[in-house]
Structure 1
Amino acid sequence: MDPLIRAATHDDASAISRVVVAALHESNAQDYSPAIIEQVAQGFSPAAILHLLIQRRVFVATINQCVIATASIDKDVVRSVFVDPPHQRLGIGKMLMATLQSVAITGGVQRLRVPSSITAESFYASLGFERIRDEFHGAERTVIMEKRLS
Structure 2
Amino acid sequence: FTSEFLNDYKCSGIPNHQIKLKLGVPIMLIRNIDQAAGLCNGTRMIVNALTKYIIVATVLNGNTMGETTFIPRMSLTPSNSDIPFKFQRRQFPVILCFAMTINKSQGQSLSHVGLYLPRPIVTHGQLYVALSRVKSRKGLKILILDDQGVVSNTTRNVVYQEVFENI
- Answer 1 or 2: which has greater helix percent: 1
TM-score with structure 2 setting the length: 0.27
- Answer 1 or 2: which has greater strand percent: 1
- Higher-Rg structure is 2
TM-score with structure 1 setting the length: 0.29
